[in-house]
A and B are shown apart, each in its own frame.
Chain A
């Protein structure tokens, strides 16, 4: 439609045809102003317009009509089922190549990621369990150590006491023995003194009572 109008415009305004029309205009404007010279211009203007109008009217309208006839915007034919079939085939192909495989792949990956996240959560629980276990073990170990320490302390004390007892007993025994020894020596000394006393008293008597 627009093509036809444009074509008309170019044909009517082509320089070849415009040149002769321009000549009188140029001569009239260059000539000194006179009523006679001005008149042709005034007469030519309608003629100019008429030729232009004729050109527009003659050339484009049949072309326009022809194009309007040929132009088929709403031209339904085999293209419709052809495109529908193409679309259905494309749908099947895209489903096989794209939607189903990639969708499945993405779902599987999602499931995997979710599973791994779940595993991580489980692992944290496991860690907690292990920590509790470790604490329990530590507690038990501490209790054991305390018990062992206590036992050892008791044993050591008992041993020490036993040794102490033994030592005391030995000391006592030695003491008793020493005392007994001393007693015996005393008795011996007393006996010896007794004997000496008798002889001494005899001698004293002899000395004091001479030849009495």
Chain B
């Protein structure tokens, strides 16, 4: 009977390292508004990683690409391909939006899985992937909504709103509802997946600290990548949908 308490104590020690604090935030006050500092800090790290690697790799493009440039050319072709498939021939102006969406979410998700945020201790809450916070995912989803409205309005003008009574005016409520469900599903899908992934890893680590969580961690990396791809693809699909003519 002595074994159990001791192992529980050890587990608790491990748990304190790997413990998850759901919904705990490290608050900053900015002009009377509260802000989740841990999200801001990790997003800065993500942005630094993105901009830094891009600057290093693409600073001086060669006709025969070097390793880094080759990688970023591959990424760019991938993003262009994705945008072209979803938006069509007029995909050009939307490449930066879709590309930034994909890269930001992808690097954020993987940073949550790969970077040892736990080393840096915060007074309250903990550092995790920026996409682990509902504010981030909702911000991205709302930007996507704004983007597809802008795309539709700039392409078709006010006749864009005709799509609400197509194919029949009976569908008007559902069509209006769609504008709300789109950002809702986008943000909650990403938020839920990343949060659940990190929770599963943390709980498994707390239960069995060695070996067992590794497959789940790899699964988490896979899920993170897929989620970034899904978000970018859906954003592109929405933009393409609002730009295409229903004639």
**A residues in contact (CB < 8 Å) with B:** 1-3, 6-7, 9-10, 13-15, 18, 22, 70-84, 86-88, 90-95, 97-103, 105-106, 109
Q: How far is the CB of A28 from chain B (nearest CB, A)?
A: 15
Q: How far is the CB of A75 from chain B (nearest CB, A)?
A: 6
Chain A residue at minimum C-beta to C-beta distance from B32 = A78
A101 adjacent to B8 (CB under 8 Å): no
A90 adjacent to B104 (CB under 8 Å): yes
A88 adjacent to B35 (CB under 8 Å): no
Q: Which of A73, A77, A84 contacts B23 (CB 8 A)?
A: A73
Q: How far is the CB of B30 from chain A (nearest CB, A)?
A: 6
CB of B4 within 8 A of chain A?
yes
Q: Which residues of chain B from 18 to 42 have a CB within 8 Å of any chain A CB?
A: 19-25, 30, 33-36, 39-40
A14 proximity list for chain B (CB < 8 A): 5, 9
CA separation between A13 and B8, bound complex, in Å? Answer: 9
Chain A residue at minimum C-beta to C-beta distance from B75 = A98
Chain A residue at minimum C-beta to C-beta distance from B80 = A103
By secondary structure, the B interface counts as: helix
A92 proximity list for chain B (CB < 8 A): 96
A100 proximity list for chain B (CB < 8 A): 96
CA separation between A10 and B58, bound complex, in Å? Answer: 54
CA separation between A98 and B133, bound complex, in Å? Answer: 27
Chain A residue at minimum C-beta to C-beta distance from B37 = A79
B133 adjacent to A101 (CB under 8 Å): no
Q: 8 new A-B pairs (CB below 8 Å) besides A7-B12, A82-B35, A84-B140?
A: A6-B8, A76-B134, A78-B35, A79-B135, A80-B138, A88-B143, A105-B61, A106-B73
CB of B109 within 8 A of chain A?
no
Query: Which interface residue of A13, A78, A97 has the most chain B CB atoms within 10 A?
Result: A78
CB of B115 within 8 A of chain A?
no
With A6-B11, A102-B73 already in contact, the answer to whether A15 and B135 are too (CB < 8 A) is no
A83 proximity list for chain B (CB < 8 A): 39-40, 43, 130, 135-136, 139-140
B99 proximity list for chain A (CB < 8 A): 94, 98-99
Q: Which of B9, B61, B95 contacts A10 (CB 8 A)?
A: B9
Sample (27) of A-B pairs whose CB atoms are under 8 Å apart: A6-B8, A6-B15, A18-B2, A18-B5, A70-B23, A72-B25, A73-B22, A73-B23, A74-B134, A75-B36, A76-B134, A77-B135, A78-B33, A81-B139, A83-B43, A84-B140, A86-B40, A86-B44, A87-B139, A91-B100, A94-B51, A95-B100, A98-B76, A101-B61, A102-B69, A103-B76, A106-B73
Chain B residue at minimum C-beta to C-beta distance from A1 = B22
Chain A residue at minimum C-beta to C-beta distance from B69 = A102
The 10 closest A-B pairs by CB, nearest first: A71-B23, A79-B135, A78-B33, A95-B96, A84-B139, A13-B5, A91-B100, A83-B139, A80-B135, A78-B35
CB of B54 within 8 A of chain A?
yes
CB of B120 within 8 A of chain A?
no
CA separation between A6 and B17, bound complex, in Å? Answer: 14
CA separation between A101 and B60, bound complex, in Å? Answer: 10
With A76-B135, A94-B99 already in contact, the answer to whether A71 and B12 are too (CB < 8 A) is no
CB of B6 within 8 A of chain A?
yes
CA separation between A95 and B44, bound complex, in Å? Answer: 18
A10 adjacent to B51 (CB under 8 Å): no
Q: Which of B6, B58, B133, B206 contacts A102 (CB 8 A)?
A: B58
